[in-house]
Structure 1
């Protein structure tokens, strides 16, 4: 009996540590992560209630940032041909939050044990960040395009209007996916 419980626990943990498949359908994503231990739909709706950011916007941000991969990081690059391979930023996890921004989130929310590889923590971070963009930059909570630009550029970068083609492309991708996710959520009754 103990061995069977051990195997069940391993299977549950293994399924939590990988990206879901069929990420272009938010209903399928929720169905794949609808367990009693780790319910993504519940986490998304809880964050929506807490921060006022619609769940499709939250999910589209994660889709664009990490493709729902819990251990996502920017690819390593070799600078100037002689500096060892390095990562261009400290972005990590579902939310691709930077070390400093994640630390600020933990300090401001008191959520010291939050982890960037935990979906519920990461989606709450995104809700907090988008709500901060609303407060600091005046961006509507359902304006996925501009929320994503502020997310990508930072609040100061957004205020300066320092957007680039990469940021704008990501913002368009997130905005289009949020529309698609909202339609899908209405269809599947989420």
Structure 2
């Protein structure tokens, strides 16, 4: 094997290793401790930055969309409804087009993309997903006059849609009311936790490098 062949071999190996590192780096696993928002953001510092930006943009508390996201996808970037089966073994599609961190349905996502002018946005990107949720929470406030701090009714809007909420489609769904209460309770817990660590999260990498 001559020097050119050896160099070519090492070049291909280097490219393969680089691509592997890039692909692994781009995939974000769900946080290890989803019960503590401080630990979630410590594990994924870029998530805090994206959540804070969405909070500033849409005027909502960070804890609310994070609690909804926990409920909807458990922070899985490619979450989707389970497949439905005919006769127990023939797949015939999923219950809805919901997908990604926010479990946004295709029609609602397309509405967001158009209204928010975010044509590059992706449902499996955390920053885009939480911006979508901020848009939804803000629109719920404008259309149905629900406070952006009211996790209970915000979640009912999120699950049933704005029209469904106005029609009271949730009233006979005891299970959904229980879930909405759980989302609200978790948002309050997340909010209290965030007060204890937000100052730390706002510090840049240089501060952390020298002061821990």
Asked if TM exceeds 0.5, the reply is yes
- Which of 32, 37, 41 aligns to 1:21? It is 32
Distance 1:158 1:80 in 2: 34
Deviation at residue 79 of structure 1 after TM alignment: 5.3
158, 166, 188: which is aligned to 2:165? Answer: 158
Q: Deviations over 1:90-116 (max 9, x none)?
A: 110000000000000011111011100
Q: Which residue of 1 aligns with 2:54?
A: 47
Residue 44 of structure 2: which of 25, 33, 37 is its match? 33
Q: Name the residue aligned to 1:168.
A: 177
Q: Counterparts in 2 of 1:1-190, with a 5 A limit?
A: 6=19, 8-14=21-27, 16=28, 18-34=29-45, 39-78=46-85, 84-163=91-170, 164-190=173-199
Aligned Cα root-mean-square deviation (Å): 2.1
Gap regions ≥5 residues in structure 1:
none
Report the Cα offset of residue 187 of structure 1: 1.6
1:32 Cα deviation (Å)?
1.0
Contact 2:83/2:91 (8 A) holds in 1: no
Displacement of 1:78 in angstroms is 2.6
Give runs of ≥4 in structure 1 deviating > 6 Å. Answer: 80-83
TM-score normalized with structure 1 length: 0.89
Q: What is the number of equivalent residue pairs in this alignment?
A: 184
Segment of structure 1 superposing worse, 166-175 or 126-135: 166-175
State the TM-score, normalizing by the size of structure 2: 0.80
| Higher Rg | 2
Range that drifts further, 69-78 or 165-174: 165-174
Q: What is the deviation of 1:151?
A: 0.4
**Structure 1: distance between partners of 2:34 and 2:89:** 38
